[in-house]
Amino acid sequence: MDAGCGTGRLTAELLERLPQGHVLAVDVSQNMLQKAQESLEPRFDGRVRFVHADLADLRIEAECDGVFSTAAFHWVKDHDALFRSLARALKPGGWIEAQAGGRGNLEDVHERILNLLDTGEYEGFFENWDDPWEFPSPETTTRRMLQAGFVDAEAWLEPAALRLQGRDQYRDFLREVILRPFLARIDDPNLKAKFVEELVEQAVTDPEFKLDYVRINLRGKKA
């Protein structure tokens, strides 16, 4: 299983490494699944199945030999349910290898964003705002995996700072990647643009336009 397959770019690499194997491409976004299907079916027809599902509530029982995932788990809020769901999907002895956002991920930029939300222009769009991500510690992740039925579970953090080439690239990356859940709440196009630009201006003091990504890597086996 590619858990959170997105557009299928890494799913293709899995299929290439498993010439006799099959992959379940799972994503909660129907749009992403459609893009993955358009990309993968012409190349791997018959060896990939597309599943529209919440990773924390999979209806898959002991079907997979392994679970692979990258940059997806932090978009699932309930990690206890996530690991129980993935454990159910694995055959006994099946493995999991994954990477996602971990404790401290993008802490600086998220702090600037949340401060900006409190200003008068934007606060009306963010009533009852709840962060849509979970950036756990290795200790918490290991405990959750063991409780879900994994053994030989381990997790560790890896700094993965991203340096962008100047203001324009930084602006594009903020708008298209980091700010998407925030911008979805602002229905005024002019305010959307202003929101992005204010955050770009706050980053100008850092000539590297650096984003402090922190990844959590994890692995384990189902008992």
Contact 26, 3 (CB under 8 A): yes
Q: Where are the domains of the chain?
A: 54-222
- pLDDT the model gives residue 119: 82
Give the residue carrying structure tokens 């018959």.
46
φ, ψ (nearest 5 deg) of residue 218: -145, 150
Contact 97, 219 (CB under 8 A): yes
The per-residue pLDDT for range 189-216, each reduced to its tens digit, is 999 999 999 999 988 766 678 899 999 9
C-alpha 215/C-alpha 1 separation (Å) is: 20
Q: Kindly give the pairing relationship between strand 210-211 and strand 2-3.
A: unpaired
Q: H-helix or E-strand containing 159?
A: strand 150-159
Residues of the chain by 3-state class (helix, strand, coil), percent to 5: 45, 25, 30
3-state SS string over 132-158?
CCCCCCHHHHHHHHHHHCEEEEEEEEE
Per-residue pLDDT of the chain (223 residues; tens, 9 = 90+): 999 999 999 999 999 999 999 999 999 999 999 999 999 999 998 999 999 999 999 999 999 999 999 999 999 999 999 999 999 999 999 999 999 999 999 999 999 999 998 888 898 899 889 999 999 999 999 999 999 999 999 999 999 999 998 899 999 999 999 999 999 999 999 999 999 999 999 887 666 788 999 999 999 999 9
- pLDDT the model gives residue 104: 97
User: Which CATH number applies to 54-222: 3.40.50.150, 3.40.225.10, 3.50.50.60, 1.20.120.610?
Assistant: 3.40.50.150
Contact 165, 140 (CB under 8 A): no
